[in-house]
Structure 1
């Protein structure tokens, strides 16, 4: 059931993670699109209590990111590059909602906490489960926020990495609860 004091946090539903014909960062085998139905139902059910996040590359990588981007130079583009746009269905649903844009995989921090009005309960969906979703979930839980991870509304970089990430986050129960959209929507 959707709790009245819980927010839906939608992680990085962007073209760069969805469109595998040109992006090596896209979820494997089109699994991103397998999450569409659950995501749309959740976004509609949470109404005004939805915040979206976007990943963008830093203008100039620093520290460990310098080495990282040596392997991924094609993604070092300005934040307004179309690859970092929301996918079409996400863009429609995000209109009028807060959007938190960060140059880090994990999205939890002061800006996201403020966007949800300091709420202490969130449901998470988005991509990639084994990267941005997991880092956000762990940081939020560590900050005392109850996290419900909606597995069928998340896609991993690969199906195997999805499974591993869900298992890893399951270790943090009851701070993080791995669930599905049917359980939340009732």
Structure 2
């Protein structure tokens, strides 16, 4: 799953995409069956990145007059107030970052808010859920905006094993802007850089 391109993690930020109940719970229509496997890897990355961790949350606040209206009509269980427990972080994600969560009504989390933290052309390592939706959407838009993106593939959870593999394959088509690495590779490169 990893590629041979060098992953520079010096001054990188870890962006943990949407570790929320709606994507983690087995009771949720969007719950990833692989979230529990990814979460310990996410935690080990967050421990290594310290204060350079950003946690995002997908929020159901998009304008219903747009295509999001059709989306929520197709997924009415998710059309709840932002205060609903569905959108809370899972307990294991509490304390991953000293910062407040970055709450956005879009799959892709790259935009002015995130760029203002990591900087123009900044370096980010992505982890989280789901690989085939919010992680993929974030990676492609961030790369297009000039960010240096590493995806910690085994710290991401897909909706299915097949969809995870397909999303990783697509992101792997974008070197050198997007590189793929395992959690162990990211951590080893971070240690090698003295961080």
Q: Secondary structure at the match of 1:154?
A: strand
User: How far apart in 1 are the matches of 2:75 and 2:150?
Assistant: 31
Counterparts of residues 1-186 of structure 1 (less than 5 Å):
3-21=9-27, 23-27=28-32, 30-58=33-61, 60-94=63-97, 96-118=98-120, 120-186=122-188
TM-superposed CA distance for 1:5, in Å, is 1.1
Render the CA deviation track for 1:18-63: whole Å, top value 9, x for unaligned.
0012x10111xx3110102211110000011011100011265221
Is the contact between residue 59 and residue 78 of structure 1 (CA under 8 Å) also seen in structure 2? no
User: How far apart in 2 are the matches of 1:59 and 1:118?
Assistant: 26
Displacement over 2 Å in runs of 4+: 1-4, 115-119
Q: Secondary structure at the match of 2:109?
A: coil
User: How far apart in 2 are the matches of 1:4 and 1:169?
Assistant: 21
Quick one: structure 1 residues 132 and 59, their matched pair in 2 at CA, closer, same or farther if it must change by over 3 Å?
A: closer
Is the contact between residue 7 and residue 119 of structure 1 (CA under 8 Å) also seen in structure 2? no
User: How far apart in 1 are the matches of 2:54 and 2:86?
Assistant: 20
User: How far apart in 2 are the matches of 1:151 and 1:57?
Assistant: 26
* TM value normalised by structure 2: 0.88
Is the contact between residue 105 and residue 131 of structure 1 (CA under 8 Å) also seen in structure 2? yes
Q: Secondary structure at the match of 2:39?
A: helix
Between 69-78 and 163-172, report the one with greater CA deviation.
Answer: 69-78
Long gaps (5+) in structure 2: 1-6, 189-195
TM-superposed CA distance for 1:115, in Å, is 2.6
Q: CA RMSD in A?
A: 1.5
User: How far apart in 1 are the matches of 2:152 and 2:26?
Assistant: 23
TM-superposed CA distance for 1:2, in Å, is 7.2
Render the CA deviation track for 1:61-119: whole Å, top value 9, x for unaligned.
2211111111111111111111100000101323x224210111111000011132446
User: How far apart in 2 are the matches of 1:115 and 1:78?
Assistant: 27
Render the CA deviation track for 1:122-178: whole Å, top value 9, x for unaligned.
000000000000000001000111100000100011111000000001001111001
Quick one: structure 1 residues 59 and 123, their matched pair in 2 at CA, closer, same or farther if it must change by over 3 Å?
A: closer
Q: Secondary structure at the match of 1:52?
A: strand
